A and B are shown apart, each in its own frame.
Chain A
C-alpha cells in the first residue's frame, strides 16, 4: 500500500494524520460558523443563507424520523453530520486524506451516538423500564433469550456504524490511489512519455481513457458516496434516538 499511496502533503511529525485532519475540519467548520453568524439578518444572504439551507435539511429529516421530541438532539446530529461530510469531501482532494478513512475517528463518532441514545433512553423512562424493553414483546419463558440477543444487537450497532463509514471511505481512498498510480508516471503516463513507439501508441490513449474514467465516473460516484454515507450515518443515529425516545410513549 505504501508503494502506491502518496503520503498526505500536510504532515506534522508526532501528530497522527487523522487527528491533524480532524483539526483542519474543525477549523474549517468553526470559520464557516463564525462567517455565517457574524452579521445575522432576517433576510439571509451568502454564507448564512447556505448554512440555513443545510440546517433546514437536517431539521426536516429530524422531524420526519423522531418527531418534535428530537429537536434537543439536533445539535449533536448536525455536528456529526457536518464533520463527517466535510471530512468525506476533503478525502477526495488529492494529497489530502479523509479523517473518516480511519477507524479511530469513525469509532469515536459511533460510540458518541451509542452512549447518547442509551443515556436518552434511561433518562426518558428510567433504568428498569428501559431494560425491560430489551426483552421485547415475547412470552415470559423466552425473555432471557431475547434480552441477550437484543444486547448483542445493540452492541453490534456502533460496530456496523463505524465500520460502514470507515470501509466506504477507505475503499474509495484506495481505489483513487490505485487509479492515480496507474494513470501517473509509474503507469500509463510514464509509458506514453518513455519515448517508445508502443508507449506513445497505447500508453497515451489509455492515459486519456483513465483520466476520463476517473474524472467522469469515479469522482461523481465518490462525491455521491460521501453525501450518502453522511446521510446514512445521521439517519441511523436519528433512528436509534427515535427508538430510545419512542419507547417511552407506549406507556
Chain B
C-alpha cells in the first residue's frame, strides 16, 4: 500500500515536467535528442560516482575525527578541500551538460 502510494506520488510530481517536455516542437531531431540523452546520462553517471567518492572521503574523515577529537578542525578543513576537488569534476560535467542542452537543430 505504502509503495503504491509512493509510486503514485512520484508519478504525479513528474506530471508538470512531462507536460513541459511535451511542449517541445514535434519534429524530434536526432542530434538534439542525443544531446539531451548524453547530458542526462553523463550527469547521472558523474553524480553517482561522485557520491561514492565523497562518501568514502567523508566516511574516512569522520573515522579520523572519532579517533582524534583534538584534530577535528584541521581534519574538517582537509575534508572540505578534498570534497571540493571531487565535486569540481562533477561540475565540469555539469557545465558540459548545460552546453549540450543548448545544442540546436
Contacts and interface: CB of A to CB of B under 8 A. Distances in A.
A160 B88 contact: yes
Interface in A98-127: none
Contacts of A187: 16
Interface of A: 1, 3-4, 160, 163-164, 166-168, 170-171, 181-182, 186-188, 191, 202, 206, 228, 231-232, 235-236
Given A206-B9, A232-B84, A236-B81, A186 B16 contact: yes
5 contacts: A167-B95, A182-B16, A228-B84, A232-B84, A236-B84
Interface residues of B, number: 21
Contact of B84 (A164, A186, A202): A164
B70 interface: no
B77 A167 contact: no
B94 A232 contact: no
Given A167-B94, A182-B16, 4 more contacts: A167-B95, A168-B91, A171-B94, A182-B17
A224 to B, nearest CB: 11
A163 B95 contact: yes
A235 B16 contact: no
Interface of B: 9, 12-13, 16-17, 20, 23, 77, 80-81, 84-85, 87-88, 90-92, 94-95, 98, 101
B57 to A, nearest CB: 14
A206 B12 contact: yes
Given A182-B13, A202-B12, A231 B88 contact: no
A164 B16 contact: no
Q: Dominant SS at the A interface?
A: helix
Contact of A228 (B12, B23, B80, B90): B80
A164 B84 CA distance: 8
A163 B88 contact: yes
Given A228-B80, A231-B80, A232-B81, A164 B91 contact: yes
Nearest to B14: A182
Given A4-B20, A182-B13, A206-B12, A171 B81 contact: no
B17 to A, nearest CB: 7
Nearest to B90: A167
A202 B81 CA distance: 43
Contacts of A235: 77, 80-81
Contacts of A3: 20, 23
Nearest to A61: B77
A167 B13 contact: no
A167 B96 CA distance: 10
A167 B90 CA distance: 9
Contacts of A164: 84, 87-88, 91
B78 to A, nearest CB: 10
A170 B98 contact: yes
Listed residue (B12, B23, B101) with the most chain A CB atoms within 10 angstroms of its CB: B12
